Structure 1
Amino acid sequence: MRYQRSSALFAEAKKYIPGGVNSPVRAFKAVGGEPIFIKEAKGAYLYDEDGNKYIDYIASWGPLLFGHAHEPVLRAVIEKAKKGTSFGIPTEIETELAKLAVDMVPNVDKIRFVNSGTEACMSAVRLARGYTGKEKIIKFAGCYHGHSDAFLIQAGSGAVTFGSPNSPGVTQGTAKDTLLAHYNDLDSVKELVKANQGEIAAIILEPVAGNMGCIIPTDVFIHGLRELCTQEGILLLFDEVMTGFRLAKGGAQEALGIDADIMMFGKVIGGGLPVGAFAARSEIMAHLAPEGPVYQAGTLSGNPLAMAAGLAMLTAIDQNPEVFERLAKKTEYLHKGIAQVLTEKGIAHHINRFGSMISVHFTDEPVVDFASSAKGNNDMFKKYFHGMLDQGVYLPPSAFESYFLNDALSYGDLDKTIETVNNIF
């Protein structure tokens, strides 16, 4: 494929934007080469500035469950925009989306909308600290909860790509209150709890991780966390920015059969527009301003365009719950097809899958945490990524990212993807 215009646009962007991008993973540092610039998208396909067409496996990193430019979402945004784009004053649609979200998600009474997943996670941790009166949190190596200081202690995804998980600018004072455990290792959590008895406000994790590839929690681990938190008076925080409304109507809580104490949302809940949210039971949310003393605010929180897109998206999901089964079957089909090709070619691999999330790791070991994910053959991944890109399949440009399937993908698209894997190897 030709990337002439994309290359020119990237060169121009670097003059005015750090690294030429507004989010690091877009820069292709993990895979080499230069990023493509997208002109438009529809359904399962992306179209770049050079006129190339791609089957899309990131779906804007998760939110586009039904594919790009989904008509109900488009109509809702267009009609709402005609009436004004922002007021900084309450609107009815905020309550409509809040009611629907609360009805769909188990163990939730109230929800607060913000503008990003980072903001949701940052605010949820502050709320947990304010509610418990404790200061420390436990997070897991490889889980990414946005770029707030408290989370950049050892992150996955973009932070790993740049080899600087302890980001400059994060103070030692902040870092000392974030304790690191190992995903799928309950004993590592118990050791931290024991060593910091009575000081831990919350344990935060991606219930199904997506920033070290797709990593599935074991039953012993996830149920053990719930039991430990209940015993020790620690709040369990589920970062469902990726999994919320994607793995099930009620997100990972429903899919895993686990009740968290505070949940954070993004992506799907905004239908592709910038949005975030955090939610909990009434007794926890009552500590949030203006009802309680824990402060959080945002001028554009509950923006009517984002609320309109989110309401249209969640309504479509609520009325079409079978979408989750369709997506899971498509993901399973893709998994089996790629695995068959790689096995026949004698290529070491391990594929993880949960619902519509999937990742391919070039290793012969099970991938259960950040350490095992990092053992993957990155040189092989680079060849795989660029081979697929050159034949019209857009994958996440990092070995540490989950793929996200959308319902607009046809089985013909999946067959072409599997055939492309065969071609490049």
Structure 2
Amino acid sequence: MNSKNDILFARAQASTPGGVNSPVRAFRSVGGTPRFITRAEGPHFWDADGKRYIDYIGSWGPAIVGHAHPDVIRAVQEAATHGLSFGAPTEAEILMAEEICRLLPSVEQVRLVSSGTEAAMSALRLARGATRRDKIVKFEGCYHGHADSLLVKAGSGLLTFGNPTSAGVPEDFARHTLVLDYNEPQQLEEVFRTMGDQIACVIVEPVAGNMNLVRATPEFLQTMRRVCSEHGAVLIFDEVMSGFRVGLGCAQGLYGITPDLTVLGKVIGGGMPVAAFGGRKDLMQHLAPLGPVYQAGTLSGNPVAVAAGMATMKLVQQPGFYENLGAQTNKLAEGLTAAAREAGVPFCADAVGGMFGLYFADSIPASYKAMMATDKDRFNRFFHAMLDLGVYLAPSAFEAGFVSAAHSDAVIAETVSAARQAFTRL
């Protein structure tokens, strides 16, 4: 008898390109049939066949308090009874903006949008409009959404402008994007020395989550802050993943670096489509209706979505929340590492707050190049072994994982026990 997942996937491919609405869901990287999810609660979700999985993607980060938390569900239900969308301002939008500004000292004003891509794209436009410069700097392995200027890979030589990584992106867009190596401060120094007066901004994931988990070094971020200040460029921290996920002060709080603009998403929506960009007031006031930089969105600040986000934001501020979350994530990383060592499998893991990375390598990667050198085939086999055992990891060797407050000691122990079997199979 065919799995319901197989049936749904075949059906989906007839009406949707690739059968999915976001590419990583298609399992192309790991092979096999994607699981179609029917419900979720706490640290678990269930697929169309009724199989339960321990979930380590958490909707790619937002489910930090666990799936279907009663407080979040209650807030959404209450907001929905008053109407789903108005196309006009609400007090809820003010409350969320005030909360973000209170928790992040670098953010003096903020604007709400509906997705991380939209927030990053808008922050870039704002930086270009405020500086009246065109060129931007990004880093290989960092993903900032699918806006045209950001779908660019490194060129063939050091400090070269990038080439489009997606059809439909004009080369004229890509030629304004300079792609450097992550964690290489010397390259930053060199590019600003040669063309600093042309660069509008530098955008970076201070804790990268889209080439698996890769931490920025303090020297890398400190150099970035200094050269941006010296040359009048805008420093943008893309904290869509790390924002309120690695700590209440986000990654910028952990590193003690003050960006000019911050891009947020995922956790601030609590599983609903909410994202934001904000920063210095003098920059934000370049936005329409005050200034010439246009940005708009019919569903920005949607009252039902904001209700989910605000309920989540209250929960993460409970005493000891991040200490407990970090402790559970570290238990997972340490348990997996020990299980691999017992089985004699080259493997390591890292964790920052509620994010973690798994690497089939002898040491934790610090760059895109190092991440690309890890054993992807072995990861794919491990992924499927864990899936068979009821543990759902990110279906790609290049994605970070996420732990929630609902991942108890028993859930972590069950995961590590499954991993012992999976490593043995490898």
Q: Give your verdict on TM over 0.5.
A: yes
- Shift of residue 383, structure 1, vs aligned partner: 0.6
- Shift of residue 189, structure 1, vs aligned partner: 1.6
Cα distance in 2 between the residues matched to 1:25 and 1:90: 35
Residue 222 of structure 1 corresponds to 221
Pair 1:417–1:3, CA change in 2 (3 A): farther
Aligned-residue RMSD, C-alpha: 1.3
Cα distance in 2 between the residues matched to 1:106 and 1:392: 41
Equivalent residues of 2:164, 2:174 under 8 A apart: no
Residue 252 of structure 2 corresponds to 253
Letter in 1 for 2:322: F
Letter in 1 for 2:341: T
Letter in 1 for 2:204: L
What pairs up with 1:224-243 in 2 under 5 angstroms? 224-243=223-242
Cα distance in 1 between the residues matched to 2:34 and 2:208: 25
- Shift of residue 316, structure 1, vs aligned partner: 1.7
Equivalent residues of 2:334, 2:349 under 8 A apart: no
Q: Residue deviations 1:90-133, cap 9 Å, x none?
A: 11111011111111112111110011000000000000011111
- Shift of residue 33, structure 1, vs aligned partner: 0.5
The range that moved more, 86-95 or 358-367, is 358-367
SS of structure 1 residue aligned to 2:152: coil
- Shift of residue 343, structure 1, vs aligned partner: 1.4
Cα distance in 1 between the residues matched to 2:315 and 2:2: 36
Cα distance in 2 between the residues matched to 1:274 and 1:165: 27
Cα distance in 2 between the residues matched to 1:15 and 1:321: 49
Equivalent residues of 1:249, 1:321 under 8 A apart: no
Cα distance in 1 between the residues matched to 2:16 and 2:395: 20
Residue 159 of structure 1 corresponds to none
- Shift of residue 37, structure 1, vs aligned partner: 0.3
- Shift of residue 66, structure 1, vs aligned partner: 0.5
Gaps of 5+ in 1: 156-163
Determine whether 1:127 maps to 2:129: no
SS of structure 2 residue aligned to 1:301: coil
Determine whether 1:350 maps to 2:348: yes
Residue 58 of structure 1 corresponds to 57
Equivalent residues of 2:189, 2:223 under 8 A apart: no
The range that moved more, 218-227 or 175-184, is 218-227
Cα distance in 2 between the residues matched to 1:210 and 1:332: 17
- Shift of residue 215, structure 1, vs aligned partner: 0.5
Letter in 1 for 2:29: A
Determine whether 1:272 maps to 2:276: no
Residue 335 of structure 1 corresponds to 333
Residue 141 of structure 1 corresponds to 140
Residue 28 of structure 2 corresponds to 29
- Shift of residue 197, structure 1, vs aligned partner: 3.0
Pair 1:350–1:382, CA change in 2 (3 A): same
Q: Residue deviations 1:323-350, cap 9 Å, x none?
A: 1110111111111111111112221123
What pairs up with 1:152-163 in 2 under 5 angstroms? 152-154=151-153
Residue 169 of structure 1 corresponds to 168
Residue 161 of structure 1 corresponds to none
Equivalent residues of 1:109, 1:280 under 8 A apart: yes
- Shift of residue 165, structure 1, vs aligned partner: 6.8
Equivalent residues of 1:237, 1:263 under 8 A apart: yes
Cα distance in 2 between the residues matched to 1:292 and 1:277: 18
Cα distance in 2 between the residues matched to 1:116 and 1:384: 31
Pair 1:3–1:338, CA change in 2 (3 A): farther
- Shift of residue 3, structure 1, vs aligned partner: 7.1
Letter in 2 for 1:338: L
- Shift of residue 321, structure 1, vs aligned partner: 4.3
Residue 43 of structure 2 corresponds to 44
Q: Please list every run of at least 4 consecutive aligned residues from structure 1 whose deviation after the TM superposition is greater than 3 angstroms.
A: none
Percent identity, please: 47
- Shift of residue 369, structure 1, vs aligned partner: 1.0
Equivalent residues of 1:30, 1:397 under 8 A apart: yes
Gaps of 5+ in 2: 155-162
Cα distance in 2 between the residues matched to 1:108 and 1:378: 39
The range that moved more, 107-116 or 364-373, is 364-373
| Count of paired positions | 415
Cα distance in 1 between the residues matched to 2:119 and 2:45: 29
TM-score w.r.t. the length of structure 1 is: 0.96
Q: Which of these residues, 383, 386, 391, is aligned with residue 385 of structure 1?
A: 383
